[in-house]
Amino acid sequence: MQPMQPVASGVVAPASRPSTLAWVAVGAVGVLAIVFTLRPIDDYDVWYHLAAGRLMVDTWRWPTTNTFAYTTPLASWVDVHWVFQLLLYASWILAGSTGAILLATLLVLGTVAVLFLDARRFAPPTVVALLLAVALVVASPRFVPRPELLAFLLLAIFLYLLDGYPRSGRAIYWLVPLQVVWMNAHGTVPIGVVLVGCYWLGATLAFLPLPAGWRAASGCTRAEWRRLTVVLALVTLGCFATPWGVAGALLPLDLLPAVTGASQLSSRIGEFRPPLQGGYALPLAYTWVALLVVTAVSFAVNFRRVHLGRLFAALIFGYLSTQALRNVALFAWVAVPAVAANVGDVLAAARRPTATPDRRRQAAPARAWALPPALARAGEAVVVLVVALLIASVVTNRLSYFLDIEREFGLGVSADHAPIDAVRFADEVGIAGRPFNDFASGGYLAWARFPRERVFIDGRTQAYPDDFFRFYFSVMDNPNGWPQVVDRFAPDYGLLYHVWSNRFPLARYLMTGHGWTLVYYDETASLYLPLDDAHRPQRERAEQAFAARQAARSVDDGAAVRAAGWWDAVRVPVAAIRRDTGYGDFLSAIGRPADAARAYEHALALDPNASQTRTSLGFAYWHSASPERAVVEWRDAVRRDPTFQPARSALAEGERRMRGTPQTH
């Protein structure tokens, strides 16, 4: 059965020429994309991508084994990110961290531009701008210099070409070289094949006796269907066009459990967890849920003219977004043109004549449904205002503060997300050899010290065997397994990124009579050395240098006066707040309550209403033999937030102990 010829879907009538205010909304969305991406480098994996790019430039070959690690040097490393890594390293060579951030900004801005061109075919620019703004908010946690940003741009181009077919004719063949680039830039999921498969399946089903509107929206001629079938086959073959051949093509299948929440990494790494189970701020999670609902409603409202390819894509990527946080952005991008097309069909209310098999493809004359001009201008003004407020909240870090995340607006490198000072200290005092480092610090260590040193582990999840991950996590969970690390790998020093509390047990273990000692710590990382004669010179130099540094720091802290200006009145220093709070937690964990109290005091000077920080300050005072000050802080915490139960419990217990009242059960 010949499918009905598709007519123009959601075409905006010429009479609905966009106003200046509508284009202001579009421009504001572009600015929003830029400010979301202008952030100091704060992702742990950026560093090993840089190191891989440098390795390929230095050696003129692709890596094949786990070159960066001494623990599993013979493990296979199928580096399907190599195209992006070379781009990233080139941007770093040209302009350092600013170059890397600008590369990320260009990729995000390009993604938004292509999606706008795609969705603009179907809906007015203000509607598209609003959809893109929502998608940007949902996807914004992923806007770091990582390979998936190139995948975002390729995804947008795929959608543009697929939504333009069959009108675009042979332009659909551009999908084949683009898929080859994709498979050599970001191979987590063969997204290109999935997208083409969705649209091919929709076109195939249109040959069946489905509702007329579905066949009109999804169908094509047999010749056009054969061309799409050839493209699907070539795109699938393009997955094998990597330096690793079959191994490169099969790697996405090996990684699929991680991005669907079915691997041991899913419970360990935030981006592999479902959006509602951690690692994603609740307001962002609710926005993602709202986008899911809006997408579903748009298909329901446009039920009579559903485009099956877009429906299948929305279903698949919507489902994947429920399985892992890193898939949420993919769904957000897919949703923009899908919702725009459905909304456009409803708004256009076109007069579509019945199609016949021999009807030439022509855009049906559209009878545009338009809002009254005053109401339309009011809607455009609201969109502009909302996007402008979003831009202001991102630039001032107030959105990050509201979401309780560490992202800051600006350039450079975030010292809170890499052990920069700890590695510099190690270089100064001659700490070298085989490190034991945790998962988060390995990427930076590979960038800073390879090839003279190799790491214990880093974020390349595809480069380490599963049994090694199990061994590593078992030691992090239970430090009593540390002797096995020493027996198997004989590390010369330990480096822990201790911002997270799950590092505290191992930190306490290494500094309390198990043949190791703590020789350095700062707000981000700590260094440990063995208590043996072979490492005595390093240990003595480190202890002397660290003591001098701490003495100088005490003087600086006492004399420091925080400069205040107009910018300080509107900008929230979210990184400093999180840094000082985390530092206080670490100092409390290693038994330095007086120092912890000073760190909490610094954090509270920036954020007086942080209930948990004030409660922690009370505990630091209590363990520093200042119970009266502890009770004062707990009372203040309860006064500021009477519903904060930890402060209420601490206050009740503190007052009871100070009165000498025995505890009752």
What is the CATH classification number for the domain harbouring 607? 1.25.40.10
Residue 267 has a pLDDT of 63
Residues in Cβ contact with 416 at an 8 Å cutoff, skipping those fewer than 6 apart: 42, 406, 499, 523, 524, 575, 578, 579
In a domain, 408, yes or no: no
- Say yes or no: 239 and 140 in one domain: yes
> Does residue 441 form part of some domain?
yes
Residues 6+ away with beta carbon under 8 Å from 227: 166, 170, 172
Instruction: Check whether residue 579 and residue 477 sit in a common domain.
Output: no
Segment 23-27 long-range contacts (CB within 8 Å, at least 24 positions apart):
23/125, 24/380, 24/384, 25/125, 25/126, 25/129, 25/130, 25/380, 25/383, 25/384, 25/387, 26/116, 26/125, 26/126, 26/128, 26/129
Cα–Cα–Cα angle for 65, 69, 73, rounded to 5 degrees: 40
User: Do residue 384 and residue 445 come from a single domain?
Assistant: no
Q: What's the number of domains the chain is made of?
A: 3
In a domain, 601, yes or no: yes
Give the whole-angstrom CA distance, residue 37 versus residue 51. Answer: 22
- How far, CA to CA in Å, does 429 sit from each of 14, 450, 518, 540? 72, 18, 14, 9
Supply the pLDDT for residue 561: 44
537 and 579 co-located in one domain: no
Other C-beta atoms lying within 10 Å of the C-beta of residue 91: 22
Strand arrangement, sheet containing 435-437: 435-437, 493-497, 525-530, 516-521
Q: Pick from 215, 231, 10, 33: which is nearest to 138 by CA?
A: 33
Residue 260 is predicted with a pLDDT of 57
* Same-domain check for residues 116 and 256: yes
SS3 82: helix
* Domain co-membership, 426 together with 398: no
Residue whose C-alpha is closest to residue 413's, from 448, 381, 378, 439:
448
Contact 222, 166 (CB under 8 A): no
Does 334 map to a domain?
yes
Report the predicted TM-score, pTM, of the whole model to 2 decimal places: 0.89
Half-sphere exposure of residue 459, counting CA atoms within 13 Å on the CB side?
A: 22
The answer to whether 413 and 41 are in contact (CB under 8 A) is: yes
**Residue 278, C-beta contacts closer than 8 angstroms, at least 6 positions apart:** 270
Whether 37 and 168 map to the same domain: the answer is yes
Answer whether residue 263 is part of any domain: yes
What pairs with residue 180 in β-bridges? Answer: none
Query: Is the same domain home to 393 and 424?
Result: no
**600-613: string of b/e by CB count within 10 Å (b at 16+)?**
bbbbbebbeebbeb
Listed in sequence order, the DSSP H helices in 121-190 are: 125-139, 148-163, 175-183
Q: Which residues of the chain have pLDDT under 50?
A: 1-15, 350-369, 558-561, 663-665
pLDDT value at residue 479: 94
Last residue of a domain, one of 524, 556, 588: 556
> Is the CB of residue 41 less than 8 Å from the CB of residue 145?
yes
Q: How many degrees, rounded to 5, is the angle at CA 179 between CA 174 and CA 180?
A: 105
Residues 471 and 441 in one domain: yes
pLDDT for res 9: 46
* 74 and 198 fall within a common domain: yes
The letter for the amino acid at 265 is: L
- Nearest-angstrom CA–CA distance, 190 and 560: 53
Spatial contact of 420 and 444, defined as CB atoms under 8 Å apart: yes
Residue type present at position 41:
I
Query: Which pLDDT belongs to residue 416?
Result: 87
* Residue 285, pLDDT score: 84
pLDDT of 5: 46
* 548, 655: one domain: no
With a CB cutoff of 8 Å and minimum separation 6, the contacts of 665 are none
First to last CA, the chain: 79
3 inside domain? no
Tell me if residue 328 falls in helix, strand or coil.
helix
Query: What single letter denotes the amino acid at residue 625?
Result: A
* Residue 619 belongs to some domain of the structure: yes
| 366 belongs to a structural domain | no
Question: Is the Cβ–Cβ distance between 85 and 52 less than 8 Å?
Answer: yes
**Phi, psi at 372, each rounded to 5°:** -55, 140
DSSP run (H or E) holding 530: strand 525-530
Structure tokens at 556: 């600086």
How many Å apart are CA 501 and CA 625, to the nearest integer? 24
Q: What is the DSSP letter of 563?
A: -
Give backbone dihedrals phi and psi of 648, rounded to 5 degrees, phi first.
Answer: -65, -45
In the listed set 525, 556, 587, which residue is the last one of a domain according to the structure?
556
Output phi, psi for 494, to 5 deg: -115, 140
CA 461/CA 250 separation, integer angstroms = 15
Say if residue 352 is in the same domain as residue 497: no
What does the pLDDT look like over 322-366, one tens digit per residue?
A: 888 888 999 999 999 999 999 988 877 544 444 444 433 443 334
Between vectors from CA 133 to CA 129 and to CA 136, what angle results, nearest 5°?
Answer: 135
Q: Which residues contact 647 (CB under 8 A, 6 or more apart)?
A: 611, 614, 615, 618, 634, 637, 638, 641
Total Cβ atoms within 10 A of residue 322 = 17
Tokens 């007329």 -> residue: 212
DSSP state string for 469-529: HHHHHHHHH-GGGHHHHHHHH--SEEEEETTSGGGHHHHHHHTSSSSEEEEEE-SSEEEEE
Quick one: angle between helices 574-589 and 593-606, nearest 10?
A: 160
- Are the CB atoms for 370 and 15 separated by under 8 Å? yes
Nearest-angstrom CA–CA distance, 308 and 315: 10
Could you list the residue range(s) of the whole structural domain that residue 146 is in? Answer: 21-359+378-403
